Structure 1
Amino acid sequence: MASNQQRREAAKRKLQRQNQRRVQQAKAAHQRLMIVGVIAAVLVIAGGVWLISSLFSPGNDTAAKSGGATKAANAYGTGTDAPTATGQSGSASDTAAPTSTAPATECSYPKGGTAAKPVKPPTDLNPPKTGTVDATLTLNTGDVTIALDRANAPCAVGSFLSLAQQHYFDNTTCHRLTTAASLKVLQCGDPTGTGTGGPGYSFADELTGKEKYTTGVVAMANSGADTNGSQFFIVYGDSQLSPNYTVLGKVSSGLNVVQAIAAKGVKGGGQDGAPADPVTIEKVAVGS
């Protein structure tokens, strides 16, 4: 028969074993929580990576499904679901100039990249926001006059005028012509002639969301939202593009000059590339 002393020692050992089990159980529970936390963190990070990849993957650009116009549309930016342009007359006079509310804030031309040709950003950050001003492009094949729309895109017009006055466009090539049924444009404004050059600054889009790229419209080329620079394109036939390209103005005379360039086709054949006959902007004269 166990003595009181023995019973006390046995009870003490039992209590110690219970305490040890509780400590071990607590440690195990803590480890499980840490593992769960790590797994959750990994899932969150993985989810974030998936989200970023999904948002910015080129495969998500539905323009990739737009057929022959895909390459041309993507070169102007990342717009998708291009609207169908209205009006099939082919006359610049039938093209209605889009209207929009002028920006409430000052224009901004932040520096970025290397200028393809020495040039300074515009100094007038509050350009006129009404009316139009003419810019005449003297090409090696004839003159094209554009009515620049200050009411629709004052910042874009201000930039174009500044570049023209600094002779930025002089003796530069129109490096790109597209002749697909859904995209008929002549692209100019890059002194390097490669499609990658710019003025060393950019400026924001000026859009209404209702832009139509019908015959005679002149718009800014871009590589994404708010990446406008010096490149622009002249629409010589109704084209299907999403409303992601700031409308600079419209051709008031000389559209036949651009259409004659297009009639000769793309160098080497195809529907997208350099014009068959080189096109050079010899100079640009602007009104007041």
Structure 2
Amino acid sequence: MQKVAVIGAGTMGNGIAHVFAQNGFTVHLIDVAQPALDKALDTIVRNLNRQLAKEIITEAVKQSTINNLHTFTDLAAGVKDAELVVEAATENADLKLRIFRDLDQFTAPGAILATNTSSISITKIAAVTSWPGKVIGMHFMNPVPVMKLVEIINGYATESEVTDTVRELSLKLGKVPCIVNDYPGFVANRILMPMINEAICALHEGVAGVESIDTVMRLGMAHPMGPLQLADFIGLDVCLSILRVLHDGFGQPKYAPCPLLVNMVTAGHLGVKSGKGFYKYEGAGKDLTVSDRFRQ
């Protein structure tokens, strides 16, 4: 397998394209907007330069990675002859279903269709295609060039050969694949999102402030960052979307999103991407300063 198409040039899409290209694959990065593609390429080059400065890669690897990347605004042209397609569009079920209906028409027979969804049912996505056995979840973690985990999710009809192929591909990327089955939130977000939601509830109920909650989890539980800061980096809108999938899928009150989270998303306070969430992010380097609203 040499040709990979990645749909979506956002944070996850450009990271996925980066790791495939760095490992010798020809990558077609696809997005409807050329400025998004230009920004993605700039991000990839910056990340490659960071790796080069840390002596993680050589100049030759940097150049070959860049040479392996090709951008497309036309989906049909971008996925033509691709042996693997990884969809990394916005976490929106209707959008993903529409993309996979199109992929069913435009991809070559036998191509593996993977989705980077963090919570949406693989079985539901696969059902809109003619070959549901070729559809699988390939859930990378952010930032993709750094994080080792790939959560591989089998849909109800996913063929074992497809699972084996994706597992082997993940190993070639230097990742650690973990194979799970198709239930709401899979494993990663079924465990992570209730923890983040509970931290938001603790803030909402006045148990402690942002800094205190995050410090307890960092120093007491050895987490690299606190749950509220992590929520900001994930995107509060994404957290809310995943919690709603969990709540709808399991029907249990413990998955109900905290009202504070709902209000913050409604107000447009989405975390790093909007410049304000549980923390404020100011300046080109996104320096972290705690929002006065949540100080104790």
Q: Would the TM-score normalized by the shorter structure come out above 0.5? A: no
State the TM-score, normalizing by the size of structure 2: 0.23
Higher relative contact order (CA 8 A, sep 6+): 1
Q: Who wins on radius of gyration, i.e. which is larger? A: 1
State the TM-score, normalizing by the size of structure 1: 0.23
Identify, as 1 or 2, the structure richer in helix. 2
